[in-house]
Structure 1
């Protein structure tokens, strides 16, 4: 019962019918634009062929990478080809890295992967002594909500923030006025 009375006092002293002005909403949207942008992700498969197995055999490893790319270009399934030829930890899963965001891969690989069209197989990427072949299976995110789409969320947040500030000021005022005596 006491909680209900306290809640009633709070809602009476903290205005519940607050409105966020369109100007405040637009300002918040401009200042917090990143909050309304979803993170870009790709569903990636990768084949990695080590060029560092044997330094005298680097040409053979490059030739193997070219052979693998040729198999894929002639219609070979990426998943099965990765299970046979890939040398990274995702080999057993057909080179499946799942959904990954930016800053997951090394910068040169990320640049290729995030700029590739869905379904396309990359050329051989020579990086850090290894040979990589990438396939982007799907993309999502990287989109920004428009102001119209974000308006209700922004308004709710601004009203909550203002109500919180009013409540804190009200409680601070009560504390100043309170006279507490202990025995």
Structure 2
């Protein structure tokens, strides 16, 4: 059970360039150019390709053209994307999910493989660096953003907590007694907790700030000292035993500490507002020959 408040899931990275479900150029496991039979009536690979082209061929080709432009422009400007760059962004994506299982489920839901996602990350980084090179972020922009968003850039107080979630107060009291008697909290979480997203992690929820958990839970979590374990806490999800693993104090934002985060935010804004004009300029510059019949 996941009881964090709903948050934005960052998975597409750059959905305008994401081609899902269009099989142009795919390799099929065919038998004599036959992809299926229905009561013995054959469906040929040619029929399938024609159908896929009618359904989304032009959009898919437009996407491939855009990807080619981005790749060629990146090569012109010697933009390199390292494995470390990809791994860092992938870690950021994974951090928006409550578990590895939830992340993998999101990939499946979006018809993506991990390799697809890594390729999207490369494209996203290339675009951001191209836009940054086209119109560099100025010191004045950074200072203005900082002054406007100083409060939101401040680091909020956070706690790292683990919990064991059970259905009844009686069971919660029993589990608390086992902890008091010296039994390991993580082992008990794996044995008793009904929170499937955290039990295998020993109940660990990671760091969270105020407003991310239900009120009854966070009131106790933020009042406990590191290392202490709570009495049973009732929420709409059941009864929780909470252990505080670590704490981070609130920190006022400074321009120096916030610069990297500000640049990232400004680049995200450029992605939304300046990519399309940039792309239209490149489309006008490039010689593009489209041989796909319009339908």
- TM-score with structure 1 setting the length: 0.54
Q: Does 1:39 align with 2:156?
A: yes
Aligned to 1:132: 240
Q: 1:88 is matched with which residue: 164, 178, 195? A: 195
CA contact (8 A) 2:163 2:203 kept: yes
Aligned to 2:103: none
- Highest RCO, 1 vs 2 (Cα 8 Å, sep ≥ 6): 1
Secondary structure of 2:219 counterpart: helix
1:66-120 residue CA offsets vs partner (Å, 9 max, x unmatched): 1100011122211111001111121111101111222221111111111111110
Unaligned stretches of 5+ residues in structure 1: 1-28, 52-61, 158-183
Aligned to 2:185: 78
Q: Does 1:117 align with 2:225?
A: yes
CA RMSD of aligned residues (A): 3.1
CA contact (8 A) 1:47 1:132 kept: yes
Secondary structure of 2:173 counterpart: helix
1:133-160 residue CA offsets vs partner (Å, 9 max, x unmatched): 1011001141226xxx769989xx9xxx
Aligned to 1:50: 167
Unaligned stretches of 5+ residues in structure 2: 1-145, 263-295
TM-aligned CA distance change 1:32 to 1:69, over 3 Å? same
Q: Does 1:108 align with 2:225?
A: no
CA contact (8 A) 1:36 1:150 kept: no
CA contact (8 A) 2:158 2:248 kept: yes
Deviates more, 1:120-129 or 1:63-72: 120-129
- TM-score with structure 2 setting the length: 0.35
- Size of the aligned set, in residue pairs, is 119
Larger radius of gyration: 1
User: d(CA) in 2 for partners of 1:126 and 1:75?
Assistant: 23
Aligned to 1:68: 175
